[in-house]
Chain A
Amino acid sequence: EVQLLQSGAEMKEPGHSLKISCEVSGYSFAVYWLAWVRQTPGTGLELVGVINPTDSTVIYSPSFQGHVTMSVAKSVDTAYLQWTSLRTSDSGTYFCARLWPTSIDSYYFDFWGQGTLVTVSS
């Protein structure tokens, strides 16, 4: 059974750092791209970026580029999303999701983690 298990809710002050995780099981970690998706009441679902666990190739969405870092640890089948200096606008629920390929350039999200609520407030 494919499962993506995310780390728990976080409450941080602006300017602080944070690293959240997504541990996968039930399939070969290195085979499928993974994504991070943010959800907020105001903007809905937004793709943060995608990462290839095989070689750590990352593609960030423009609005997140330079502000977050995606990484993986293949030894523990885990993906990470981190910030060095949080902003209040980073608040939201962050989901990791597996990408299923239908062709060389068409992928949809098939399995999702349960979400990590990040609250940034002073």
Chain B
Amino acid sequence: EVVMTQSPDTLSVSPGEGATLSCRASQNVRSNVAWYQQKPGQAPRLLIYGASVRATNVPVRFRGSGSGTEFTLAITSLQPADFAVYFCLQYNTWPPRAFGQGTKVEVK
């Protein structure tokens, strides 16, 4: 079973600064990784699929990269709406069940 490990658990960032979030897979998942943003009381929102493809209406300041076992979500110039929890998901296996534990991006 594939395990997805995110780091760090919490990232403190000042508005306007950039943030880099990591997700590591316990085995090769090719480019089958998605990233989600979740705000309190809301459902997860798809940001990135295919490791690097932005979903519809996702701002260009969100950039996904990586393949194999190492993946990164970079957010440039954080806006107030970007402070949230971010999850990765690997979908190289069926059905997709391996979520990362989440990284909370908070205001410094």
Contact = CB atoms under 8 A, between A and B. Distances in A.
Given A109-B34, A110-B46, A47 B97 contact: yes
Contacts, number: 66
A46 B97 contact: yes
A122 interface: no
Given A44-B99, A44-B102, A108 B49 contact: yes
Given A102-B32, A109-B89, A50 B95 contact: yes
25 contacts: A35-B95, A44-B99, A44-B101, A44-B102, A45-B44, A45-B99, A46-B99, A47-B95, A47-B99, A95-B43, A95-B44, A99-B95, A100-B49, A105-B94, A106-B91, A107-B96, A108-B32, A108-B34, A108-B46, A108-B89, A109-B44, A110-B49, A112-B43, A114-B43, A115-B43
A111 B46 CA distance: 7
Interface of A: 33, 35, 44-47, 49-50, 59, 61, 95, 97, 99-100, 102, 105-115
B95 A113 contact: no
Residue among B43, B46, B96 with max Cβ neighbours from chain A (10 Å): B43
Interface residues of B, number: 23
Interface of B: 32, 34, 36, 42-46, 49-50, 55, 87, 89, 91-97, 99, 101-102
Contact of B42 (A46, A107, A114): A114
Contacts of B36: 109
B32 A112 contact: no
A107 B33 CA distance: 10
Nearest to A115: B43
Contacts of A102: 32, 49-50, 91
Given A46-B97, A47-B96, A95-B43, A108 B102 contact: no
